[in-house]
């Protein structure tokens, strides 16, 4: 192939680094880059022009990304939820704020009320709501994981716990006091324990386990003769010599360094973003195709309905037959229209969302260190799919959530360029 032709250079690559890299690959293959709308060639002036155009293309892309993130931040400050509406809410109009969804919001409120009594687990509360007819927007039963996500999400009491936290201007489904009763650190008098696993002084309790016996580390404080407290993490069984007492400050600093180690390498960001964006676009192409098929079926039904009118006018249908056939077809058309409405795309910019996501991921260790207790617990759940083993000196290889497992995933198989199971973004609902 002699030439690789693009309409504009800003469509060839989003930044200068990618431009140079792909340009070099083309050159090794004996192929020259050409643009339909810009003057570039292999002359010194042509190559200089190509370089300048690629720089300005990257600048334009960066500025658009920054404007997107700034726009999202301003909307958040105004109390507007800018992402996909969580279950129990919906967005009545494009660009509007979310509002409680009839029926589903009542069941979400019921879930909080029942769970606050302290007699339900996440699994039992999911079964409780399934029995009462709660479905996700995909028509599936709510899972245990979904119920945990809902019952710990402050959006339902009107709080946006993102970018410093903001008060939502949308209608809350529950009160702040009810939400607080459903959180892991809420101590009910009937189940109070002075040695609760949710001690704000020790956020790593239950997360870290002994490598030898897989018993969860605990934490407590000792006093010197002057009454000063010294907090320690330690093994609950003194006869295990694998994990000795470790000062809280030293242990948590080791954990912060560990978070730095597992934070996704920046060289995998582009691969991850490319896979997600490709998957996102493919999913909506499928939805567009499905909607096109439904619209064709609607057109066929409308044509059939017109025949019913024609037969009635020609005297082939009695009034009763006419009404029966017309109502039957209208009902089918309404059902088809409802299928299209369920597949509406939420109005937000995926690329900007990914940029925001990685801007947060890059500072994971710093964010955990500065966070208050409950946010530390939530962040730990976002990073780790299970416990972390500790051998007395260092942390072992954990079971990481997909985003934080990129170093393992990509490092193990750099040829794996297809979307792994679970990497695709969620569709509306």
Q: Note the pLDDT tens digit of each residue in 386-420.
A: 899 998 888 988 888 877 777 666 654 443 434 44
Q: How many angstroms separate the CA atoms of 55 and 75, rounded?
A: 30
The answer to whether the CB of 390 falls within 8 A of the CB of 208 is yes
Give CA–CA dist 136/104, Å, rounded: 9
Q: List residues bridging with 160 in a β-sheet.
A: 166
Please provide the distance, in angstroms rounded to a whole number, between the alpha carbons at the two ends of the chain: 46
Q: Are 161 and 367 in contact (CB under 8 A)?
A: no
* Nearest one of 72, 71, 67, 55 to 20, comparing CA atoms: 55
Task: Please report the pLDDT score of residue 38 as a whole number.
Answer: 74
Given this model, what pLDDT does residue 188 score? 46
- Which residues lie closer than 8 Å to 217 by C-beta, 6 or more apart? 204, 205, 208, 209, 210, 233, 234, 235, 236, 243, 390
pLDDT, position 238: 67
pTM comes to 0.42
3-state DSSP call for residue 223? strand
Pick out the chain residues at pLDDT < 50: 187-197, 343-348, 412-429
H-only helix segments in 78-143: 104-115, 122-131
Cα→Cα distances 19→51, 53, 55, 60, Å: 9, 11, 9, 15
For residue 246, give the H/E element and its range.
Answer: strand 246-247
Q: Is 416 helix (H, G, I), strand (E, B) or coil?
A: coil
CA triple 389-395-397, angle to 5 deg: 75
In eight-state DSSP terms, residue 155 is: G
* Residue/partner pairs of 55-61 with CB below 8 Å, 24 or more apart: 55/16, 57/9, 57/10, 57/13, 57/14, 57/15, 57/19, 58/14, 58/15, 58/16, 58/19, 60/10, 61/10, 61/14, 61/15
Q: How far is CA 417 from CA 286, 358, 414, in A?
A: 21, 19, 7
Distance CA 356, CA 28 (A): 36
Report the number of secondary-structure helices (H) and strands (E) in the chain. Answer: 13, 11
DSSP secondary structure of 251-278: HHHHHHHHHHHHSPPGGGHHHHHHHHHH
């Amino acid at each position: 192939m002699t030439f690789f032709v693009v309409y504009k250079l800003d469509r060839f690559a989003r930044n200068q680094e990618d431009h140079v890299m792909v340009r070099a690959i083309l050159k090794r293959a004996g192929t020259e880059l050409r643009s339909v709308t810009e003057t570039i060639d292999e002359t010194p002036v042509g190559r200089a022009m190509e370089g300048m155009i690629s720089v300005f293309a990257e600048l334009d892309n960066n500025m658009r990304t920054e404007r997107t993130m700034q726009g999202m931040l301003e909307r958040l400050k105004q109390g507007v939820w800018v992402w996909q509406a969580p279950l129990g809410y919906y967005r009545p109009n494009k660009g509007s704020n979310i509002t409680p969804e009839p029926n589903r919001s009542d069941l979400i409120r019921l879930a909080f009320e029942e769970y606050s009594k302290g007699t339900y687990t996440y699994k039992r509360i999911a079964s409780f709501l399934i029995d009462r007819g709660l479905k996700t927007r995909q028509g599936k039963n709510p899972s245990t994981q979904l119920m945990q996500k809902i019952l710990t999400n402050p959006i339902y009491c009107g709080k946006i716990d993102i970018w410093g936290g903001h008060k939502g201007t949308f209608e809350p489904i529950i009160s702040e006091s009810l939400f607080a009763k459903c959180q892991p650190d809420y101590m009910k008098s009937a189940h109070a324990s002075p040695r609760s696993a949710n001690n704000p002084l020790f956020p790593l309790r239950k997360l870290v386990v002994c490598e030898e016996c897989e018993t969860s580390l605990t934490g407590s404080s000792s006093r010197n003769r002057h009454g000063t407290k010294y907090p320690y993490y330690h093994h609950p069984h003194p006869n295990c010599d694998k994990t000795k007492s470790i000062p809280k400050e030293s242990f948590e600093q080791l954990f912060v360094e560990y978070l730095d180690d597992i934070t996704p390498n920046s060289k995998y960001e582009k691969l991850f973003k490319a896979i997600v964006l490709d998957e996102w676009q493919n999913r909506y192409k499928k939805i567009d195709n499905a909607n096109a098929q439904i619209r064709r079926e609607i057109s066929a039904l409308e044509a059939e309905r017109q025949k019913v009118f024609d037969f009635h006018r020609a005297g082939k249908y009695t009034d009763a037959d006419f009404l029966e056939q017309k109502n039957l077809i209208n009902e089918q058309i309404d059902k088809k229209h409802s299928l299209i409405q369920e597949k509406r795309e939420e109005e937000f910019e995926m690329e900007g969302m990914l940029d925001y996501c990685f801007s947060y991921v890059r500072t994971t260790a710093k964010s955990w260190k500065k966070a208050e207790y409950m946010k530390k617990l939530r962040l730990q759940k976002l990073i780790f799919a299970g416990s972390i083993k500790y051998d007395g000196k260092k942390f072992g290889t954990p079971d990481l959530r997909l985003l934080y497992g990129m170093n393992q995933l990509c490092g193990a198989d750099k040829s794996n360029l297809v979307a792994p199971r679970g990497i695709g973004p969620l569709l509306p609902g």
